[in-house]
Structures are given as C-alpha cells and as structure tokens.
Amino acid sequence: MISVENIDKSFTLHTQGGVSYSVLEGVSFRVKPGECLVLNGPSGAGKSTLLRALYANYKVDRGHILIRHNDQQIDITEAEPRAILAIRRSTVGYVSQFLRTIPRVSALDVVAEPLLGLGVEQDVAYEQACTLLERLHIPERLFHLAPATFSGGEQQRINIARGFLPGYPVMLLDEPTASLDARNRQVVVELIEEAKARGAAIVGIFHDEEVREAVATDYLEMTALESAA
C-alpha cells in the first residue's frame, strides 16, 4: 500500500540566515495491508516529519513515496494538488497530535465531514459519527459545540473519530494516544486493531510503550542526523 524509496528531507530557513539542516536521509520502507509500522526514535529524529511527508504536507528533496490509490500506484512527491486531495479524500487518513479544524464548526460536523465528502448520506454519516464519539466516551452534550474549547484529551478523541470513521486504506497516526486516559487508550488500540483487520496499512508514532507493543507489526528505528549548517 505504501512504498517509500530513498527519501531525503532537509529544511532551509531563509529567514534565519539560510541555516539548513537535514532531517531524513535515504529513508526506505514498505507497508502492506494489515501491517502497522511504528516509527521509533528520540524526539528530533524526524518521525513527525516523515509522517507529514507521507501525507504530502511536507515536500521531500529526493526519493519517491508511492501510495496505492484506486488500484493505481501514485507517487505523491510528483502528484498534482488535486490528485493529492483526491488521495486524502478516499485513501489516506491522518490523525495529528493536535486538532486543527475550522473554528465555529461543531464536533459532530468535524467528525462527519470526511464521510459526507465521500458521498455518504447525511443521516448515515451523522449516526456513525455519534456512535464512534460515544465509543470514545465523548459526552453527548459536546456533540454540537465547536471543539476549540474542549480539553486536550477531548480534542484528541474528536481528531481520532474524524480520522478513523471513513475506514481509509492507509492511516497515518501521530501520537494518537498522547493525552488520553487508560480507558480511551484502550479504545484507540481496538480501533487500530480493527483497521488492521480490515486491511489498512498503518504508519504510526506512539510514545506509550504499551500501545506501541500492542499494535506494532514492525518497527523503523530512526535517529537524529548531525545538523549541517
């Protein structure tokens, strides 16, 4: 489902004297349906950068990232914006550490939106969204409020619901359990196991060792690179 070939990623900060540093060098791996690759390494090793590159949110300097979309292998490092948006709509889901949503939109709308974008009937989408939010122990009184005022853990669960609801074939998870209590961590582990069972290819970052060991089928060890000025 995912094939990463020899990617490099560096950042050049033109506003800070043109300092340049390398974050990823020659990274390659493959993830098949039903597998969960866990990115392992200290902070600053480029785990989140790699995940963002897989979502085409960051641009790589070199190499290829192939994603299977509608029975075609697409290199997202070369794809047009509209192709990437189509891939994000139906193939790749991304759960970030922090909720970045549009203000003034209710939690329920945030969660149901990707399903509606796939053409799912409104009633069905909202019903499924409610079921998943309940499973993640979000109190019903919050459903119709904008998540901006929610606690960190609540926002994270809204984010998880939004990412898991459409059943994407590829899932990218950036510390989805970071601010959750044991009960909700367990729900997320179950959601990941269900996604694997239906054949999703998953790449994730998990600081919680218990979660990591529960879901990982493989590890990618990462280390921070020497920075070059």
Partner 1 sequence: MSPELDQSQPLLTVNGLSHYYGSQLGCSNVGFDLYPGEVLGIVGESGSGKSTLLKCLSAVLPPSEGEVIYRDRTGLPHDIYQISESARRMLRRTDWGVVEQNPRDGLRLGVSAGANIGERMMAVGARHYGGIRSEAESWLDKVEIDLGRIDDLPTTFSGGMQQRLQIARNLVTRPRLIFMDEPTGGLDVSVQARLLDLLRGLVAELGLSVIIVTHDLAVARLLSHRLMVMQRGQVVESGLTDQVLDDPQHPYTQLLVSSVLLP
Binding site for partner 1 (CB under 8 A): 11, 13-15, 52, 56-59, 81-82, 84-86, 89, 102-104, 117, 119
**Is the Cβ of residue 101 or residue 177 nearer to partner 1 in the bound state?**
101
**Smallest distance from partner 1 to CB 13, Å:** 7
Q: How far is the CB of 12 from partner 1 (least distance, A)?
A: 8
Residues in the chain, total: 229
**Shortest distance in whole angstroms from residue 98 CB to partner 1:** 13
Q: How far is the CB of 6 from partner 1 (least distance, A)?
A: 19
Nearer to partner 1, 85 or 224 (CB): 85
Q: Which is nearer to partner 1, 28 or 70 (CB)?
A: 70
Say if CB 23 and CB 46 are below 8 A apart: yes
Q: Which is nearer to partner 1, 11 or 219 (CB)?
A: 11
Question: Tokens 């901006």 appear where?
Answer: 148
By beta-carbon proximity to partner 1, the closer residue of 110 and 211 is 110
Residue 150 beta carbon to partner 1: minimum distance, rounded to whole angstroms: 18
- Do 20 and 13 meet the contact criterion of CB atoms below 8 Å apart? yes
Nearest distance from C-beta of residue 27 to partner 1, angstroms: 16
> Quick one: which of 223, 185, 176 has its CA closest to 203?
176
Beta strands in 41-155 (DSSP E): 62-69, 72-75, 92-95
Q: Shortest Cβ distance from residue 39 to partner 1 (Å)?
A: 18
In the complex with partner 1, the residue whose CB is nearer, 36 or 112, is: 112
Neighbouring CB atoms inside 10 A of 28's CB total 12
Specify the residue, 18 or 139, whose C-beta has the smaller distance to partner 1: 18
Integer angstrom CA distances of residue 41 from 113, 139, 188, 199, 212: 34, 35, 22, 26, 12
55 in Cβ contact with 1 (< 8 Å): no
Residue 75 to residues 8, 53, 127, 141, 208, Cα–Cα distance (Å): 15, 12, 35, 43, 32
First to last CA, the chain: 36
